[in-house]
């Protein structure tokens, strides 16, 4: 059994008062979530993990069924003012839209006329696809890698690969250590999801199959003895948001998560399918962006979206406050 | 190091002539593929597995990259006179087509007019989807399970779940024991693939994510606190055949197989992508149905299909002869 504790105090106590006996070593200080404040969210996660990993607990879940699905943009990594995937697509579309041979041609004309955001709202199913249309998949991968390593976030002046939330990466590491099967389930272009997450050691060890994003339609050519994949100008169904996440979890994982973590209305379908897991205890978390000082302040599901989310995923969604629950947000932060 | 051997002889030799020393125990008799005749196919597989699992060999592949993709129909399980997935869809379509309210409605009318085979040829992308349209996914799963356990093959008079090829299941077991990451990649309805393969212990231990088939479009409803998935009347792109297998390997696995095993022109794209694996030695196998006596005799890729397959996947595709390489074919066979 593990005792949750304030580690510094306990270690001091051990050094001062206890002999270094076998007994003393049984008191393990669980600082697995040291970047989390000792508040309800941390306690809920630690309790949940302890219960589902304890073969003597009624909530026990065998390792192969410890599926956890985690959203990327806004849950693992900063998505404001623009998510990394959107920024990448916008950069590419801007290049395209300024090409002389595309003057007057839709949808580039629409992008120029209405702005990219408007076009994205109307044609999300085209946005990622169009931006990379005709590119070789490998070439785009390299471009993505260059971008996440080189281009700097307008506020933090850091490369995008540094904009992962440190407490969330710590949580991922903790879950993997406890034999959870971690999937990242993101609305972004799946190739970008794989490229961006490969930048962080906590995620780089996961096989590529664990990253589920929106798929861009591809064709493949075998002419030169090796397959060459290139992009068509559209996405594949289902776009990996809302119901799409619930669908892709069945298609791609075929098991229901016992733990799902998101931050927006796009994640409610993913949270909802935890209720189909065949175990008595499951956990649903929504990260709340309430820290304008250190990150950004913008609501999760509100109004009718919140009502729909509760209707789909139940009322017992636990909120994580970035302001109150996170000791620090980014690795480059100095902490509270 | 393992010595390939005719096991009975070696064991007899050991008992007669060798003391039971430490040295004697080093001579391991590799009968992992005991259902395979001692011929080139068996030797190629054993050599390949030994090399890629030996850290001192130039062909070594770390376990996480030991991806193997195996076709199902005609490679793991009998597909004649009708594949299990097709038969299931045909049974359902027949029920539909005879429903009074569908009289005169397309495409059921076309199925009645032209026959199901013709309709399937013209509209493969609709075949699985249409047959189950409107059904809850869970209901269809149960129907599939009932069918593979209960309905008997016209020739063998055995339930369809018994029609797996025993030497192929032994190969799967051997690969899993050697830390290969086994994927079944089938043109059939993915739900049927999962249901059918779950019937065999050699495959039942694999997570559902390892079964990649053609996807039927679904919708999901969260109204009653649990997700309910139901089928729409079409399939999703890409149909998991030919190029579709190459595409889904990138989408769903994100790693290229070092070993691919199929039996038809539908598998050539899957065989071809082994050439994109970043390791020096890869292996491509096609099962040849040349045993009319014990199973069925029908060619793999021939003529222009064979030429295309060689163009895509290379000339060094190794053929497995069911007649010459398999000691027995089905578990219920008495053997040669």
Domain A35-80+162-214+237-325 sits in which CATH superfamily? Answer: HAD superfamily/HAD-like (3.40.50.1000)
CA B91 – CA B78 distance, rounded (Å): 18
What does the pLDDT look like over A58-93, one tens digit per residue? 999 999 999 999 999 999 999 999 999 999 998 888
> Contact, B292 vs B261, CB < 8 A?
no
Tell me the nearest-neighbour CA distance from B315 into chain A, angstroms. 10
Reference A284, options A116, A53, A44, A94; nearest CA is A44
Angle between helices B124-131 and B84-97 (to 10 degrees): 70
Rg of chain B over all Cα atoms, to the nearest angstrom: 22
> Contact, A192 vs A88, CB < 8 A?
yes
> Contact, B330 vs B164, CB < 8 A?
yes
CA B16 – CA A299 distance, rounded (Å): 80
pLDDT score recorded for residue B27: 42
- A209, A237, A240: best to mutate for the B interface, most B CBs within 10 A: A209
Q: Where are the domains of chain A?
A: 1-31, 35-80+162-214+237-325
- Segment B2-7 mean pLDDT: 44
Chain pair A-B, CB pairs under 8 angstroms: 99
Q: Are strands B297-298 and B283-290 parallel, antiparallel or unpaired?
A: antiparallel
CA B211 – CA A325 distance, rounded (Å): 39
- Chain B CB contacts of A251 below 8 Å: 190, 215, 218
Q: What is the DSSP letter of B242?
A: T
Tell me the nearest-neighbour CA distance from B86 into chain A, angstroms. 20
pLDDT score recorded for residue A8: 46
CA A132 – CA A216 distance, rounded (Å): 9
Phi then psi for residue A48, to 5 deg, are -60, -50
- A228, A251, A277, A315: best to mutate for the B interface, most B CBs within 10 A: A251
**């799967």: which residue's tokens?**
B172
- Segment B153-163 mean pLDDT: 97
pLDDT score recorded for residue B121: 77
The tokens describing B329, both together, are 């074919």
What does the pLDDT look like over A178-194, one tens digit per residue? 999 999 999 999 999 99
DSSP assignment of B124-154: HHHHHHHHTTT-BHHHHHHHHHHHHHHPBPT
pLDDT score recorded for residue A9: 45
CA B222 – CA B230 distance, rounded (Å): 11
What does the pLDDT look like over A254-264, one tens digit per residue? 999 999 999 99
**Residues comprising chain B, all counted:** 336
Helix or strand (DSSP H, E) at A94: helix A84-97
Average per-residue pLDDT in chain B? 89
8 Å CB contact of B237 and A253: no
pLDDT score recorded for residue B29: 59
pLDDT score recorded for residue A2: 42
CA B242 – CA A151 distance, rounded (Å): 39
ipTM of the predicted structure? 0.90
Reference B182, options B162, B215, B212; nearest CA is B212
Least confident stretch, A264-273, A301-310, B171-180 = A301-310
CA B329 – CA B322 distance, rounded (Å): 8
8 Å CB contact of A272 and B227: yes
8 Å CB contact of B208 and A276: no
Residue among B190, B243, B314 whose CB faces A220 most closely: B243
Greater pLDDT, A177 or A122: A177
Using the predicted structure, report yes or no on whether residue B249 has a pLDDT greater than 90.
yes
Give percent helix, percent strand, percent coil of chain B, each to the nearest 5.
45, 20, 35
What does the pLDDT look like over B206-248, one tens digit per residue? 999 999 999 999 999 998 778 999 999 889 999 999 999 999 9
> Contact, A81 vs A117, CB < 8 A?
no
8 Å CB contact of A247 and B255: no
pTM, full prediction: 0.91
Reference A332, options A163, A84, A167; nearest CA is A163
**pLDDT-derived band of residue B99, with 50, 70 and 90 as boundaries?**
confident
Residue among B209, B217, B246 whose CB faces A209 most closely: B209
CATH numeric code, B35-80+163-214+238-325: 3.40.50.1000
8 Å CB contact of B253 and A219: no
Least confident stretch, A41-55, A79-93, B145-159, B269-283 = A79-93
The tokens describing B217, both together, are 């479009």
- Chain B CB contacts of A227 below 8 Å: 246, 269, 272-273, 275-276
Using the predicted structure, report yes or no on whether residue B131 has a pLDDT greater than 90.
no
The tokens describing A259, both together, are 């733990």
Helix or strand (DSSP H, E) at A261: strand A259-262
Using the predicted structure, report yes or no on whether residue B7 has a pLDDT greater than 70.
no
> Contact, B45 vs B30, CB < 8 A?
no
What does the pLDDT look like over A109-168, one tens digit per residue? 777 777 777 777 777 777 788 788 889 999 999 999 999 999 999 999 999 999 999 999
8 Å CB contact of B208 and A253: yes
pLDDT score recorded for residue A16: 52
- Segment B281-301 mean pLDDT: 97
Helix or strand (DSSP H, E) at B283: strand B283-290
- Chain A CB contacts of B241 below 8 Å: none
């Amino acid at each position: 059994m593990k005792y949750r504790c304030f580690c510094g105090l306990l270690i001091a106590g051990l050094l001062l008062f206890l002999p270094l006996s076998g007994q003393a070593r049984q008191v393990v200080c669980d600082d697995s979530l040291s970047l989390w404040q000792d508040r309800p969210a941390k306690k809920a996660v630690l309790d949940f993990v302890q219960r589902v990993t304890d073969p003597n607990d009624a909530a026990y879940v065998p390792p192969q069924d410890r599926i956890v699905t985690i959203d990327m943009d806004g849950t693992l990594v900063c998505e404001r003012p623009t998510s990394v995937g959107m920024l990448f697509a916008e950069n590419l579309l801007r290049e395209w839209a300024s090409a002389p041979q595309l003057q007057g041609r839709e949808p580039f004309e629409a992008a120029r006329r209405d702005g990219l955001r408007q076009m994205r709202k109307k044609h999300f199913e085209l946005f990622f696809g169009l931006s990379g249309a005709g590119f070789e998949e490998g070439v785009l991968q390299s471009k993505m890698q260059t971008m996440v390593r080189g281009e700097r976030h307008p506020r933090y002046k850091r490369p995008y690969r540094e904009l992962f939330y440190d407490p969330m990466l710590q949580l991922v590491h903790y879950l993997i250590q406890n034999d959870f099967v971690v999937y990242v389930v993101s609305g972004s272009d799946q190739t970008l999801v794989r490229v961006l997450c490969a930048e962080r050691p906590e995620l780089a060890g996961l096989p590529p199959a664990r990253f589920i994003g929106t798929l861009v339609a591809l064709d493949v050519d075998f002419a030169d003895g090796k397959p060459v994949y290139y992009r068509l100008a559209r996405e594949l169904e289902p776009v990996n948001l809302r119901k799409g996440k619930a669908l892709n979890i069945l298609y791609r994982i075929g098991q229901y998560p016992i733990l799902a973590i998101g931050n927006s209305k796009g994640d409610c379908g993913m949270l909802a399918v935890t209720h189909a897991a065949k175990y008595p205890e499951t956990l649903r978390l929504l990260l709340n962006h309430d820290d304008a000082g250190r990150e950004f302040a913008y609501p999760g599901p509100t109004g009718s979206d919140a009502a729909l989310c509760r209707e789909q995923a139940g009322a017992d969604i636990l909120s994580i406050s970035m302001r109150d629950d996170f000791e620090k947000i980014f690795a480059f932060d100095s902490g509270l």
